[in-house]
Amino acid sequence: MAATDVSLSDPTSPSLLGYQLRLGSRGMPFDEMAGPDGSVRPHWREVAGFFTRLGPEEITRRWNQARKILHDNGAAYNVQSQGVLRPWELNPIPLCLAAAEWKAISRAVGQRARLLNWILDDLYGDQTLLANRLLPPALVLGNASYLRPCRGHPVRDGVRLALYAADVARAPNGSWWIVSDRTQSPSGMGYTLENRMVLSRVFSGIFRETRIARLGGFFERVRTALAALSPRPGLEPNAVLLTPGSLNETYFEQAYLARHLGCSLVQGQDLAVRDGRVFIKTLEGLRQVDIILRRVDDDYCDPLELRDDSLLGVPGLLNAVRAGTVTLANSLGSGLVQCAALNAFLPGLCRKVFGEELLMPSVATWWCGEDAALRYVVENLHGLVIKDVFDYPGSRPDRGANTEELRKAILARPPYFAAQEFVRLSQCPDFVDGRLEARSIVLRVFAVRVGEDYELMPGGLTRVAEEESSYGALMLQAGGSKDTWVNIEGESSTHGGAPLPIELQRSHLDLTSRVADNLFWLGRYADRAEFTARIVRCVLEDCSEESGWVEQADVMPLLATLRHFGQFSDDGRSGEPLDQSLSRQMADRSNFGSLVSVLQNLRGLAAAARDQISNDAWRILNTPLRGHRLSRQFVCK
C-alpha cells in the first residue's frame, strides 16, 4: 500500500500534530505519534511543537544541511548486491519513546540477551538442552552456524554475548515484538551515533528544550565492559576492531566506532598468532592483543580450523582462544542463536531457565520440523512469512510466492523451513519533500553486558520501510533511518547530541604495517594527482577555442611529460582539438594514468586507512568528480 502524505502547508491543519492525526484516515488503528483513541502521545508534544515552529521551509533547509554533513563525513552503506556505495539516509523527524515505555523495552531486551547468552553457553558446553530434548538436535547440529571446533572453548566470566542487538517493532495494537536477534557481530551502533551527532548540529535547539537521553555514556560503558573481559587483568588492555575491509557493507561504521572507542582498526593480515597469543603487526614489531571486537563472520575468522578459503581471518586464532590469551566479542559461534526457528522455543526455555515469562514475545514462529507446526504452516501459507531456518536474519523471506511450489519445497525438507506471522507494523511520520508521509518502522536496540546483566543504549537505530512490510525496514533493503529520542522523566535536560568525551590514546605502536603502507602510497598518489593537475592546467590555460594544437615551446615539453608517464597518448594526428583530447583522456577511467583514475586510487587508499584520517582531510579526498568529462573549470581551479 502506498504511503499517504499530508502537506505541511495545508491550511486546514494548523500544526504538525494535526497532520499526524489525519493519517488515521488510512484505517490504521494505531501509530507512533497518536494512540489508539486518536489522542496525541504526551512525549511527542514538545517535539511536534518544535518542528511546527520551524515550518516546512526551515525543516527542508536544515535537512539538506544534515545530508551534506553526512556526505562530507563519508557516511554510506555499501550495497554489495548492487556494487554501489549508497549514501546514508537520515530523516529529520525522529522516533520518540516515553521513559516508562523505554524502561519496559530495556527490561525485556536485557532478559532476552541473558537467555540467549545462557543458551549459547549450554550448547557450546554441557549441552543439557539437547540431552533433555528441550531443543531439537536438528535445529542445532544441522545449523552451519554451530561451530563444532568451538565447543568447550573458555569464555571469560561466561560472557559469550558482550554485545547484543534486537530488531523490535510495534504492532498497531501497541504491543512490542522482537522481529530478529543480532548476536554474531551486531551492527548499527556507529550509524546511530552519527545520526545523533548530525541532528544535534542542525536541530541543536530541540536538545535544549526537551529531555532527551544522551548516547555518549553508553559508549563509555562499552569500553569499560570490553576492558573487563581482558585476559590480562591489571594491565591496560590492547583492543582492536577486526574488519573484513573497506568493501564491507558497514565499513564506514567500523572505522567510526574504532575512532570513538579508541581502538585500532585492523584486518586479518594485520594480526598474527605466535605461541598461542595474538599479536598486531606494527612498525615497532609485534604487540600483544587482548580484546578483539570483531565484525568478521564466525566461520571466516580462522582459515585453519573453520572456513579454509577465508582471506579475512587470522590463522590459528582458535588456538589463542583455547589458551585463553585473547577475548573475542562476541565469541565465535554466537551466530547460532540468530536462527529464526529458535523463537518457537524461547518462551518454554525462559520458564525453564529463569522461572519467568518472556517479557517481550517474538513474532509468532512455527518450525516445520515439528509435525503439528508443519500441518499448520502448509494449511495457512497465505497468511505467513516463510523463511529458510538457517539463513542469516537479513535474508529476504518469501511472501506472496507461488503457494503450490512453496508447499512442495516445505514438504520436501520440513526442518529447513520456519514460518512467522505477518505483523502489520505501526507507523511514524516521515518528512519528505516538504510533506509528511506515514511509514512503517523497525527499531534496532543495542545492549552491552555490564556485570551480570545487560544495559541498553538509551536510543537506537530506527529503520524506515518504503512499503508496509514486517521486513521492509531491513538495512540491506531500500529505506531511510531515524534518530531515536528517549524521553527522560524528572531530569534536567542538557545537550543530548554529543557523546561524552572519549580520550583517544594513539601512538606509533597503533600504526600497523598495512596502514603505514597505505599512508605511504596515499602520499605518493596525492603528489601524483597534484603533479598531473598542474601540468594539465598549464596546458589548458595556453589553449584557446581557436588555437587547436599549440606549438609553443613551453607546452610541448609538458605534453611529452604526460606521454612519458603514459597519461596522454594523442599525437595530434586525430584532428581533435588539444583541450578536448586532453580533457577526455584525463577523465577516462580506463586510463590508469588519468587524473580521475589517480583520484580514485587516492580515495581508495584513504578509505582503507579511514580511521587514521581526519574528517577535514576526508572531505577533501572524498570530493566526487561529476560526469565523464573533466572540465577546464575543474582543472584550472
Give the separation between CA 583 and CA 575, rounded to whole angstroms: 15
Q: Is the pLDDT of residue 247 over 50?
A: yes
pLDDT digits (tens, 9 = 90+) for 258-271: 988 989 999 999 99
Strand intervals (E) in 13-80:
76-79
pLDDT at 627 over 60: no
CA distances from 306 to 147, 268, 315 (A): 8, 14, 10
* Residues 316 and 273: beta-carbon distance below 8 Å: yes
Average pLDDT over residues 474-495: 65
Report pLDDT for 474: 39
Domain boundary among 357, 389, 422: 422
Using the 3D structure, point to which of 397, 422, 447 is the last residue of a domain.
422
Same-domain status, 523 and 631: yes
* Number of domains the chain contains: 2
pLDDT at res. 569: 81
Predicted pLDDT at 544: 56
Same domain, 517 and 417: no
Using CA atoms, how far apart are residues 122 and 134, in angstroms rounded to an integer?
Answer: 12
Please tell me the distance from the alpha carbon of residue 203 to that of residue 206, in angstroms, as a whole number. 6
Report residue 491 CA to chain centroid gap. Answer: 31
Give backbone dihedrals phi and psi of 2, rounded to 5 degrees, phi first. -70, 145
Contact at 8 Å (CB) between 407 and 378? yes
Considering the domain architecture, whether residues 416 and 517 belong to the same structural domain is answered as no
**Most confidently predicted of 112-121, 206-215, 495-504, 626-635:** 112-121
Q: How confident is the model at residue 401 (pLDDT cuts 50, 70, 90)?
A: low
pLDDT level of residue 628 (50, 70, 90 thresholds): very low
What does the pLDDT read at residue 473? Answer: 36
Bridge partners of residue 439, in order along the sequence: 428
Residue 495 lies in a domain: no
551-603 per-position pLDDT tens digit: 556 677 888 888 888 888 876 656 677 778 888 888 888 888 888 888 888 88
Asked whether residue 619 is assigned to any structural domain, the reply reads yes
Q: What's the confidence (pLDDT) of residue 87?
A: 82
Contact by Cβ (8 Å): 402, 348: no
Answer yes or no: is 60 within a domain: no
Strands 453-456 and 461-464, bridge-based pairing: unpaired
Distance CA 582, CA 335 (A): 54
Q: Which domain holds residue 597?
A: 512-635
What H or E segment, with its residue span, contains residue 240?
A: strand 239-242
Counting residues of the chain whose pLDDT is more than 70, the rounded percentage is 80
User: pLDDT at position 558, please?
Assistant: 83
The DSSP bridge partners found for residue 280 are 271, 287
State the cell numbers at 197: 551527532
Residue, of 527 and 488, whose pLDDT is higher: 527
Task: Name every residue whose Cβ is closer than 8 Å to that of residue 424 and which is 6 or more positions away in sequence.
Answer: 171, 172, 440, 468, 470
On whether residue 529 sits in a domain, the answer given is yes
d(CA 165, CA 160): 14
Q: Report if residue 387 sits inside a domain.
A: yes
Q: What is the pLDDT of residue 134?
A: 93
User: What's at 438, amino acid-wise?
Assistant: A
Q: Are 111 and 349 in contact (CB under 8 A)?
A: no
Q: Please, which pLDDT band fits residue 377 given cuts at 50, 70 and 90? A: very high
Which of 404, 422, 440 is the last residue in one of the domains? 422
Q: Which residue has the cell 580514485?
A: 600
pLDDT band at 472 (very low <50, low <70, confident <90, very high): very low
Provide the mean pLDDT of the chain.
Answer: 81
Q: Are 334 and 184 in contact (CB under 8 A)?
A: yes
Is the domain of 520 the same as that of 618?
Answer: yes
pLDDT at 204: 86
Residue 395 placed within a domain? yes
In the predicted model, is pLDDT for residue 464 greater than 60? yes
Whole-number pLDDT of residue 79: 58
Position 146 confidence tier, pLDDT thresholds 50, 70, 90? very high
So what's the pLDDT on residue 72? 84
Q: Tell whether 59 is covered by a domain.
A: no
Alpha-carbon span 47 to 428, nearest angstrom: 13
- What's the pLDDT band for 8 if we cut at 50, 70, 90? very low
377 falls within a domain: yes
Find the CATH number of the domain harbouring 370: 3.30.1490.270
What is the C-alpha to C-alpha distance for residues 319 and 301, in angstroms, rounded to an integer? 12
Dihedral (C-alpha) 314, 318, 323, 329: value to the nearest 10 degrees? 80
Q: Are 113 and 161 in contact (CB under 8 A)?
A: yes
Q: Residue 483 pLDDT > 90, yes or no?
A: yes
- What is d(CA 626, CA 322) in angstroms, rounded to the nearest whole number? 52
Residues 326, 231 contacting (CB under 8 angstroms): yes
pLDDT of residue 574: 65
Higher-scoring residue by pLDDT: 191, 542: 191
- Which comes out higher in pLDDT, residue 413 or 564? 413
pLDDT band at 45 (very low <50, low <70, confident <90, very high): confident
pLDDT score at 10? 41
Q: What integer pLDDT is reported at residue 467 of this predicted model?
A: 55
Cβ pair 481, 91 in contact under 8 A = yes
Grade residue 199 by pLDDT with cuts at 50, 70 and 90. very high
More confident residue, 324 or 25: 324
Q: Could you report the per-residue pLDDT of 378-388, keeping only the tens digit for each?
A: 998 888 888 88
Which three cell numbers mark 25? 484516515
Confidence of residue 356 (pLDDT cuts 50, 70, 90): very high
Confidence band, pLDDT 50/70/90 cuts, at residue 84? low
Dump pLDDT digits (tens) for 338-351: 998 999 999 999 99
- Show the beta-strand stretches assigned E in 290-434: 291-294, 327-329, 365-367, 384-388, 417-421, 427-432
| 294 — pLDDT class (breaks 50, 70, 90) | very high
Three cell numbers written together for 36: 489508539
Return the top range by mean pLDDT from 102-111, 433-442, 594-603.
102-111
Calculate the alpha carbon distances from 341 to 160, 175, 337 in Å: 21, 21, 9
What's the average model confidence in pLDDT over 269-291? 94
